[in-house]
Structure 1
Amino acid sequence: MAAPGTCAHSDDGNRDFCVLAERLTHDLACVLERPDLRVIAGGRRIGLDTALAGPFVVRADGMVVLGAPCLMAPACAPVVLRHALELARLIEAVPEDAVLAGLCAARTAALFAELDGPEGAPGPDWHADMAAANPPGIARLRQIWGELAPLQPPVAPECAGEGAFDRLAVRLEALWPLLGPAEKLMAEGGDARLAIDPATGLNHYGSSHRPRPWAVTYASSTASSVSERGFAGAEAARVRLVQGGLTGKGAEVRAGMVAEVRRRIAEHYGMTGAEGVVLAPSGTDCELYALALAMLGSGGHPVSNILLAPEETGSGVPLAAKGCHFANDTALGAQVEKGGLIAGFPAETLLLSVPLRRPDGAARTNVEIDRDCIELARRSWQAGRHVLLHRLDLSKTGLLAPGLEMLDRLADAARADGATVPDIVVDACQARLDPVRVRAYLDRGWMVMITGSKFFTGPPFCGALLLPENVAARLRGGGLPAGLAEYCHRAAWPEAPAAQVLPVGENVGLMLRWYAALAEMTALREIPRPVVRARLARFLTALEAAIDSDPDLRRLPVPHPARPPLADAWDDRGTILSFFVRDPLASSGEDFVPLALEPARALYRWLNADLSRVVPEGADRALAGLLCHVGQPVPLPHPMLRGGVAGALRLSAGARLVSGEPSHDGLVPDLRMDREIGDARRVLAKIGLILRYWETLAAADPVQTYAPLQAMDSGVPVTLP
């Protein structure tokens, strides 16, 4: 975005205006520096004309000129600027269709206004029409165009004349579902947990599809807010979608982009053309797809699905593992009955589970886990059942099981008993492993579940199931369960006869989320493996020491992942640090009593909230106001909570820790890592502050917000210090 200080000429050429930075109010200057708007603006020139009565005008040369209303009411400026930037971009893309471009830009602006929350200034009447589920009628479109026309260069009379709006309405109808800001579209095609609460600017996970660089974030074991890099990746993809639709190539462009996402994931993991990538909204959907593929290879036998530590995977995984609906709605918006059997999945599917922890919460030994897995598998195939066995790499707290040697022996054991070779699926949804490891799993003939939303810090709800050649070949015969048509489109799967039961189309929200994640994956891939290892080691060593030295915390002992040797491996060390927090209301004594699950969940929320207006005088209000996003508490048994479970919080090292963020530009790597370590220590310090004022905070129960409260009140987000 060009700095506001550019001198330019007005359209009539009769007067000059010079936009000086000092004439901008502080609030308007902050709007121009919003991370989401800064990404969208790029290098576009933006000026301010105090004599312009309208909100803005896009000049013929592409310059955006903001009018006096933005100066007088900065709360309206974000929506005005977003509208102007969208309009300028679309006019450049289809100058011959400037009226349609103007209507499309207006819809994006109206939806952006809804996302920006209730604190913004009231918008024009047409906002409600253009934000509706269906486009307005032809007569109303003409009226709306009358208000929009002054915002852009004049169009030829025939473009907005008699009969033109009949054609425009038809084209707008086809484009309508694809129009909107990237942050809204990224919240679609998943489930209700992705929905943004306009009052807080956050979703169910306490994260945002807009960049949030002022927040301290180590939540990659659960979900992260999108970074400026990821947002730029999704925004560029969104623009391609809209421009494709405007030029009459929408279906072709969408199909090509889904194929591109699948191809780029395959390239990241060194996959061959004979292998396959299936896009999935979540790891839970991946579980459902893996079961369907195991059924295709079962020879007609019922499947025994052996799941490891269901309590340390997604909450819906046990249902999906039996072929049941795991929520009341699907990623494609179908309303279903949670727990009901999905059409095409047999009721005979048997779910078996192997715990990774003992009743007291201590981790079980690999020998015990391996023994249970092979015993359950043997009983299943001896009963005439096909086995689908999971390797968990890694759990929510960083556990890895069962062992490779046992899994490698499993096929020979099945053959010796005259049974079909078990299917293995690796749950690598945390993605905390080198791509070389994933390639090795595929070489063994095992399916692999991955996501772009955990270690890679892409938006939540972007997953994929990687298919080795032997499993991908199953799609050439048979058919997928018919009920999967409520979950995914045909384009999400490799082109094959088995996928013909699925509907034609694309999950646009999933596609955009993957483009955001791919931007992070690309950035990490450019960092040499020794550098990745060194940066992770430096951060984790410092943070482990900080947790261990804090009397209010107890780190959960987790063994380092046991992996085959790999030069300069960075994934042979745990990157999720789980810890219990002392209960401030427990009776004093030498014993450490951890927070139970529900209080731990409250602590998790308060960390991500601005507490500066809640803590009493004398408290460190700067620290209280710091927004800290960490991993959601994991329910685990604890010997001091007999009959209940504790909640273990998690601080995780994600890909952005290694590759940095655009907001880190100008910091040399050593200084940036120093800042990361300092930020992580501030998270621990805020935990201590919360414990000191626990009863005060419990009475107030403050909510999480996208930005600090002062910014939420004014509608103007903070800028980085």
Structure 2
Amino acid sequence: MPQIVDDRALDRNVAAGAPLQRSGKGEEALLRSLISGGDERLDCDEATGLNMYGHGPSPRPRDLAFGSSTASTISAAAFSAVGAYYADLLREMESASATEIYEREIGQVRHDLLRLLDLNQAAGQARVDAILATSGTDIHLFAAALLAREDDRALMTITLMGNETGSGVMTASSGRHFMNRVSSERAVAKGEELQLGEATRNTTVAVRNKDGSLRTDEEVEEELRGLIELARAAGLRCLLVVTDVSKTSLLAPSLETVLRLKGRFGAVLDIMIDACQFRLSAATIRAYLARDFMVAVTGSKFLAGPIFSGALLCPPAISERFRHRTVPAALADYCGKAEWPEGWAARESLPDRANFGLLLRWKAALFELERFAGLPEEKVIAVLSAFAGAVTIRLRSDPAFELLDSRPLDRSHLWGETSVLRWDEIPSIFSFYLCHPHHDGLLTATETADVYKGLAVEQGGLAAVRLGQPVRCADFGDMPASALRICLSAPLIVAASESTEALAGLIAEAMTVLDRTADMAARQSGERDVAPMRVASA
């Protein structure tokens, strides 16, 4: 993929209205392709040009983009690179088969993803395989489908509650359609079994108490142990989905719990790491794979690629189990054979279908991953530490906010005791409630949602503020409360690592975002006489 010499200059030019070097017709085709090949979450409103998450396929470099825990808009640099790549593909397709070109290029995406994670690089090394998917939720569906057909025993999946993972994860993990349309454009019945009579059982575990505080690791482990014991007694196998990290930056259940459960239940229990936020290092991913844990990643959260793109990384032992598995016929509407590894039996029941939307979205995500992976770890740590320190101090000291209960990202049981600080041990998602300015208490979930929506709209010359969607974390009496999230993304870290001034600018932008959030919350809660804040547009 072509590299952009000065991405920041390109972003500034686009913000000022300078056109990208592409014909109008070619750009329209690119925009259509970027939102194709998925479910209705990709659909954009005709009036606004935005999807249900408030993002579209075009760059929006003026946005104060701190919402990567939910979604992001493609950067101008990635958009330009992907546009040039797509133009080359279109020229090649004038004289060659689109499906053959797609199979080659999506195979290259798989290769590049594994290369950037330093997988399959050594001669004689056992191969890690990757199944590509149109979203992280699709990955949960694929994993359940593969494991459910492994033997005569039924499968039970155990996931965190949807408020810490994703709204469709529980449905997909039970082997059911999780949206009303699939990537083949066929309409399906949401909640219906993928294959009649073969739905997987799903159960969920809460990691928070009703008031939003965290349950202890011991409580969670005891509940999980009981569930798996019951499943084993009933002749079921289990898939435990471990979230690293969740919507509110939790690693749950704890790795100490996970390793103890795996040691206790052995082959009855498989483990999948839901790393769909992709807020963990290549070394951490390799360590999970070395323990024969599957790892699910996406390109649209921390990497800030356009929604959606996903991959299921399968360690050699799992690949050997899966390569001979057939898949339900209904999966043919979700994926084509090129998205599955060479030599797998599943390919034989899947169509020769090209999904150029998925290809382009993964290309954009890998563009960002390549830039991020090229940074020295000490620079990444410096940016994350400075940002975490400044944001945490602000959220703790400002009466407009209340930090959501959280805990450190502890992977010591994966690595063993070490004094080495790894960048993915520093949080990059900070969750907070909005406090009522007139009396003790929090804004309601509805009021918080209104603040979130209001900030996302450009008004009065101010740039749109993009935070992570509110996460319902607590119920106080009959009042549900939600937490907003301010997040770092890989592109923000890359930009801030260039100089001391760039890092200071990033932190200043974050403070501006919190200023405007507090102001909007005061207005939303009824304080109409507050003078408008004077905030420089970004």
TM-score (norm 1): 0.67
Question: How far apart, in 1, do the equivalents of 2:196 and 2:106 lie?
Answer: 26
Any conservation in 1 of the 2:340–2:346 contact (CA below 8 Å)? no
Map 1:512-527 → 2, pairs under 5 A: 512-527=360-375
**1:327 and 2:162 correspond:** no
Residue 95 (structure 1) aligns with: none
> What whole-Å deviation, never above 9, does each CA across 1:225-270 have from its counterpart, x for those lacking one?
1112221332133123202212334333221111011111111223
> What whole-Å deviation, never above 9, does each CA across 1:424-460 have from its counterpart, x for those lacking one?
1111111111111111111111111111111111111
**1:690 and 2:534 correspond:** no
Residue 294 (structure 2) aligns with: 447
Which amino acid in 1 is paired with 2:132?
Answer: L
> What whole-Å deviation, never above 9, does each CA across 1:90-141 have from its counterpart, x for those lacking one?
xxxxxxxxxxxxxxxx5x46xx3xxxxxxxxxxxxxxxxxxxxxxxxxxxxx
Which amino acid in 1 is paired with 2:117?
Answer: Y
Map 1:592-611 → 2, pairs under 5 A: 593-611=441-459
**1:676 and 2:506 correspond:** yes
Map 1:396-545 → 2, pairs under 5 A: 396-415=247-266, 420-495=267-342, 496-545=344-393
Structure number with higher relative contact order (C-alpha < 8 Å, ≥ 6 residues apart): 2
Map 1:326-345 → 2, pairs under 5 A: 326-343=178-195
Map 1:268-347 → 2, pairs under 5 A: 268-272=116-120, 274-297=127-150, 299-343=151-195, 346-347=198-199
State the Cα distance separating 1:208 from its structure 2 match. 2.6
**1:629 and 2:482 correspond:** no
Change (3 A) 1:250 1:327: closer
Which amino acid in 1 is paired with 2:458?
Answer: D
Choose which of 207, 219, 229 in structure 2 pairs with 1:378: 229
Match of 1:647, SS state, is: strand
Question: How far apart, in 2, do the equivalents of 1:322 and 1:188 lie?
Answer: 26
Any conservation in 1 of the 2:165–2:246 contact (CA below 8 Å)? yes
**1:263 and 2:111 correspond:** yes
Match of 1:678, SS state, is: helix
Change (3 A) 1:535 1:350: same
Which amino acid in 2 is paired with 1:679?
Answer: E
Question: How far apart, in 2, do the equivalents of 1:553 and 1:695 lie?
Answer: 14
Question: How far apart, in 2, do the equivalents of 1:250 and 1:650 lie?
Answer: 41
Any conservation in 2 of the 1:229–1:516 contact (CA below 8 Å)? no
Match of 2:388, SS state, is: helix
Change (3 A) 1:523 1:324: same
Residue 161 (structure 1) aligns with: none
Question: How far apart, in 1, do the equivalents of 2:119 and 2:517 lie?
Answer: 44
Question: How far apart, in 2, do the equivalents of 1:185 and 1:82 lie?
Answer: 15
Question: How far apart, in 2, do the equivalents of 1:674 and 1:331 lie?
Answer: 42
Choose which of 177, 183, 190 in structure 1 pairs with 2:31: 183
Question: How far apart, in 1, do the equivalents of 2:305 and 2:180 lie?
Answer: 25
Which amino acid in 1 is paired with 2:503?
Answer: M
State the Cα distance separating 1:196 from its structure 2 match. 2.5
> What whole-Å deviation, never above 9, does each CA across 1:362-391 have from its counterpart, x for those lacking one?
011112112222221122112110111111
Change (3 A) 1:689 1:396: same
Question: How far apart, in 2, do the equivalents of 1:677 and 1:647 lie?
Answer: 24
Any conservation in 1 of the 2:146–2:325 contact (CA below 8 Å)? no
Question: How far apart, in 2, do the equivalents of 1:271 and 1:296 lie?
Answer: 28
Alignment root-mean-square deviation, CA: 2.4
Question: How far apart, in 2, do the equivalents of 1:436 and 1:286 lie?
Answer: 22
Match of 2:118, SS state, is: coil
State the Cα distance separating 1:200 from its structure 2 match. 2.4
Which amino acid in 1 is paired with 2:516?
Answer: K
State the Cα distance separating 1:37 from its structure 2 match. 8.3
> What whole-Å deviation, never above 9, does each CA across 1:162-183 have from its counterpart, x for those lacking one?
xxxxxxxxxxxxxxxxxx1x22
Residue 396 (structure 2) aligns with: 548
Change (3 A) 1:352 1:251: closer
Choose which of 346, 351, 365 in structure 1 pairs with 2:202: 351
TM-score (norm 2): 0.89
Change (3 A) 1:39 1:290: farther
Choose which of 415, 425, 434 in structure 2 pairs with 1:572: 425
State the Cα distance separating 1:392 from its structure 2 match. 1.0
Higher Rg of the two aligned structures? 1
Any conservation in 2 of the 1:40–1:235 contact (CA below 8 Å)? no
Residue 53 (structure 1) aligns with: none
List alignment gaps of at least 5 residues for structure 2: 1-9, 121-125, 413-417, 529-536
Any conservation in 2 of the 1:211–1:228 contact (CA below 8 Å)? yes
Any conservation in 2 of the 1:477–1:498 contact (CA below 8 Å)? yes
Residue 88 (structure 2) aligns with: 240
| Length, aligned pairs only | 510
Any conservation in 2 of the 1:344–1:482 contact (CA below 8 Å)? no
Question: How far apart, in 2, do the equivalents of 1:473 and 1:274 lie?
Answer: 10
Residue 56 (structure 1) aligns with: none
**1:369 and 2:220 correspond:** yes
> What whole-Å deviation, never above 9, does each CA across 1:473-505 have from its counterpart, x for those lacking one?
123323111111111111111121222111112
Residue 14 (structure 2) aligns with: 34
